[in-house]
C-alpha cells in the first residue's frame, strides 16, 4: 500500500469517527444547543485561519533553520549563492505550517469554548429558542442533522494537514514519487535503464520518448479526502507574494523533480558522465515550466547561482566549469554565464529550452558544448566545428542568449588564426570583396529570413567564393565563419574589405601592401 492510499484511508476513518461523535452529540444537545455550537465553530474556524497565517509567519524562521540541516549539497550551494531562493523557501515553509497550525489553534480554541463560554451559551440558546431548549424527538433529530454539519466542519479543520498531503500525493505521478524515495511506490524500469552509453559521447537525447502527464486531469485526491479537501488545501496553502498555492505548486514540482531524479539516476547507471546526466535531468524540467509559478522562479535563481559558482571555479549540480577558460568551449561557457545572469522567471524557460532541448536527432546545445571540453577533443576538426556551429545557430535564434553570440564574434577570429580555418591569401582581394558583399546582403535581410537560413546562405557563399578562387573551405568551417562574421561586424556600416581581411588573419603588412596596390 502506497503512502497516498494509506493517508487517504486514515483520513476517511478519522472523518467517519468525527462525524459519528458530532451526530451523537447533536442528538443529545437538541436544536438550540447544536445551533449555538455551530455558530461557535464557524467563528472559531475563521479566527483560527487568520491566527494560523500569523503564527506560521512567526515560526517559519525557526523552521527554516531546522530544515537547513537536511539540505543536500546542491541545495546548500543554491542557498549560499542565492539569498532570494532562501527567502522563497521561507515562504514555502510558511505555507506548509499554516494547515498544521490551523488545526492546532482550532482544536485548542474549541476546547476552551466548551469550558469558558457556558454562560454565554445559555443566553444564546434563549435567543435561538424563546422557550428554552426542551428535549423532544424532533429537537434531537434536528440536532443530529446539525451535528452532521458540525462534523464536516470539524473534520475539515482538524484533518487539514492530512487532507493537504492526500490532495498533493494523489496528484503526483507514481514514478516521480518512487524516484523521490517515498514508501510503497514501485514502478517498472523504463527502456532507457541499463543502456550502455559511453561517457561524453555525442548522442540523441533520452527525453523525446517520455510522456509528461497533464496535471489538470488529476482527481486531486477527492476520492478519499472529501468534497472540501481541494478547496481547503488551496485556501490554506497560498504563498505570500505569489499568485499560486503550495498544493498546485507541489504537484508540479514533485512531478518534475521526481522525473528529473529518475532520468539522472538512469543516465548515471547507463555509464553516462555526471555532466551529461545533469543536463538530461535539467531538460526534464522544461515542459513543466508553464504549469508552475514557482518553478520558473526557482530555475532562474538556479541559473544565477550556477553563474556565481562557475565564476569561482566550483562545480554546480555536478557540472564542472571548463578547465581551460580560453578554449572555444570555455569562451562559450563564459558567455553562457552572462546569459544566466540575465535569467528571470519570464525568460528562463526559453533559455533552458534553447540549452537543453533536443529534437531527437540532434543533441542539445549543452551536451554539444560539454562534449567539446575534453582534452582529447580536436576542436579544429570539421566534426567539432560543425557541432559548435549547429549549437550556435540554436543559440542565435534566441534573443535572450545575445551575450553568447556576441562572444562568438571574437571567438571565430581566434579560431581562424589558431587553426588556419581559411587559407585565402591577401592578394585574392576579389574573394574578400565578394564575401564582404555577401555579408552585407545577409545583414540586411533580417526581416526576410530566420537566423539559420541567413547563416547557411552566407556559409554557402563563402564556400563557393573560395572554390572559385581555387581554395577550399569546408561547409562546417564556413558555417562557423558565417556566424562569427555576422556577430563581429553586426551592421553594414562596420564592414570594410580591410577589416574583413584582418578578421581572417591577414597580417597588417599584407593589408598595407594590398592598400598600396589598390589605391
* In the chain, % of residues over pLDDT 70: 72
The mean predicted confidence, pLDDT, of the chain is 75
Above 50 in pLDDT, residue 215? Answer: no
CA distances from 233 to 63, 91, 169, 237, 291 (A): 20, 16, 12, 6, 18
Q: What are phi and psi of 316, to 5 degrees?
A: -145, 125
Instruction: Answer whether 265's CB lies under 8 Å from 189's CB.
Output: no
Q: Is the pLDDT of residue 250 over 60?
A: yes
Residue 75, SS3 per DSSP: helix
pLDDT tens track for 313-338: 777 766 676 666 666 666 777 777 77
181: three-class secondary structure by DSSP: coil
What pLDDT digit, counting tens, does each position of 150-175 carry? Answer: 988 888 888 888 887 877 777 766 66
For residue 80, give the nearest of 306, 239, 335, 296 by alpha carbon.
306
DSSP per-residue string spanning 413-464: HHHHHHHT-----TT-HHHHHHHHHHHHHHHT-TTTS-HHHHHHHHHHHHHH
**Residue of 85 and 509 predicted with greater confidence:** 85
Residue 487 CB burial class (10 angstroms; 0-12, 13-18, ≥19): buried
Spatial separation of the C-alpha atoms in residues 64 and 361, rounded to whole Å: 44
**Grid coordinates belonging to 11:** 483520513
The H or E element containing residue 111 is: helix 83-116
In this structure, of 22-31, 76-85, 461-470, the range with the lowest mean pLDDT score is: 76-85
442, three cell numbers: 545577409
Report pLDDT for 190. Answer: 42
Radius of gyration of the chain (CA): 33
Q: According to the model, what pLDDT value does residue 12 have?
A: 84
**What would the mean pLDDT of 108-134 be, rounded to a whole number?**
67
Q: What is the pLDDT of residue 105?
A: 92
Domain boundaries, the chain: 3-170, 417-517
Share of residues in the chain with pLDDT > 90 (%): 3
State residue 47's pLDDT score: 92
Distance between CA atoms of residues 424 and 504, nearest Å: 9
Closest listed residue to residue 340, CA positions, set 358, 360, 317: 317
pLDDT tens per residue across span 174-197: 666 666 666 555 544 444 333 333
- pLDDT tens digit string along 51-80? 988 898 888 878 878 877 777 666 776 777
pLDDT reported for residue 278: 76
What does the pLDDT read at residue 51? Answer: 92
Is it the case that residue 205 has pLDDT exceeding 60?
no
Cα-Cα-Cα-Cα dihedral sign, residues 239, 243, 247, 252: negative
State yes or no: pLDDT of 104 exceeds 90. yes
Amino acid at each position: 500500500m502506497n503512502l497516498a492510499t494509506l493517508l487517504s484511508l486514515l483520513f476517511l476513518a478519522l472523518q467517519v469517527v468525527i462525524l459519528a461523535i458530532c451526530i451523537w452529540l447533536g442528538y443529545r444537545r437538541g436544536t438550540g444547543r447544536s445551533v449555538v455550537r455551530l455558530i461557535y465553530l464557524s467563528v472559531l474556524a475563521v479566527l483560527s485561519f487568520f491566527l494560523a497565517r500569523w503564527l506560521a509567519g512567526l515560526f517559519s524562521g525557526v523552521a527554516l533553520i531546522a530544515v537547513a540541516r537536511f539540505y543536500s549539497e546542491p541545495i546548500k550551494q543554491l542557498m549560499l549563492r542565492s539569498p532570494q531562493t532562501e527567502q522563497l523557501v521561507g515562504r514555502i515553509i510558511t505555507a506548509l505550517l499554516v494547515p498544521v497550525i490551523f488545526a492546532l489553534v482550532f482544536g485548542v480554541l474549541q476546547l476552551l469554548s466548551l469550558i469558558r463560554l457556558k454562560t454565554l451559551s445559555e443566553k444564546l440558546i434563549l435567543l435561538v429558542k424563546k422557550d428554552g431548549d426542551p428535549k423532544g424527538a424532533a429537537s434531537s433529530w434536528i440536532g443530529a442533522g446539525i451535528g452532521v454539519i458540525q462534523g464536516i466542519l470539524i473534520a475539515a479543520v482538524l484533518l487539514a494537514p492530512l487532507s493537504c498531503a492526500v490532495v498533493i500525493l494523489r496528484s503526483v505521478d507514481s514514478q516521480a514519487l518512487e524516484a523521490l524515495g517515498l514508501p510503497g511506490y514501485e514502478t517498472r524500469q523504463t527502456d532507457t535503464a541499463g543502456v550502455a552509453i559511453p561517457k561524453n559521447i555525442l548522442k540523441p537525447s533520452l527525453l523525446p520518448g517520455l510522456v509528461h502527464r497533464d496535471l489538470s486531469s488529476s482527481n486531486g485526491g477527492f476520492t478519499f479526502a472529501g468534497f472540501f479537501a481541494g478547496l481547503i488545501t488551496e485556501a490554506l496553502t497560498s504563498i505570500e507574494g505569489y499568485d499560486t498555492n503550495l498544493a498546485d505548486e507541489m504537484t508540479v514540482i514533485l512531478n518534475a523533480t521526481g522525473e528529473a531524479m529518475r532520468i539522472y539516476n538512469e543516465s548515471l547507471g547507463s555509464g553516462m558522465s555526471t555532466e551529461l546526466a545533469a543536463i538530461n535531468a535539467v531538460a526534464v524540467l522544461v515542459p513543466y515550466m508553464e504549469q508552475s509559478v514557482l518553478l520558473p522562479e526557482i530555475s532562474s535563481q538556479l541559473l544565477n547561482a550556477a553563474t556565481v559558482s562557475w565564476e569561482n571555479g566550483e562545480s554546480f549540480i555536478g557540472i564542472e566549469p571548463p578547465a581551460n577558460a580560453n578554449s572555444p568551449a570555455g569562451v562559450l561557457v563564459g558567455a553562457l554565464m552572462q546569459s544566466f545572469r540575465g535569467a528571470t522567471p519570464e525568460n528562463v524557460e526559453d533559455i533552458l529550452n534553447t540549452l537543453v532541448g533536443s529534437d531527437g536527432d540532434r543533441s542539445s546545445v549543452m551536451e554539444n558544448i560539454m562534449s567539446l571540453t575534453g582534452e582529447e577533443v580536436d576542436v579544429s576538426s570539421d566534426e567539432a566545428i560543425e557541432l559548435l556551429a549547429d549549437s550556435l545557430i540554436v543559440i542565435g535564434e534566441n534573443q535572450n542568449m545575445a551575450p553568447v553570440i556576441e562572444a562568438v564574434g571574437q571567438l571565430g577570429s581566434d579560431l581562424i588564426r589558431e587553426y588556419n580555418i581559411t587559407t585565402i591569401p591577401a592578394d585574392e582581394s576579389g574573394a574578400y570583396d565578394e564575401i564582404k558583399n555577401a555579408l552585407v546582403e545577409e545583414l540586411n535581410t533580417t526581416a526576410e529570413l530566420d537566423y539559420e537560413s541567413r547563416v547557411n546562405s552566407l556559409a554557402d557563399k563563402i564556400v563557393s567564393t573560395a572554390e572559385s578562387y581555387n581554395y577550399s573551405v569546408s561547409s562546417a568551417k564556413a558555417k562557423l565563419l558565417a556566424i562569427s562574421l555576422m556577430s563581429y561586424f553586426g551592421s553594414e556600416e562596420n564592414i570594410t574589405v580591410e577589416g574583413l581581411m584582418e578578421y581572417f588573419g591577414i597580417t597588417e603588412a599584407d593589408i598595407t601592401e594590398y592598400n598600396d596596390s589598390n589605391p
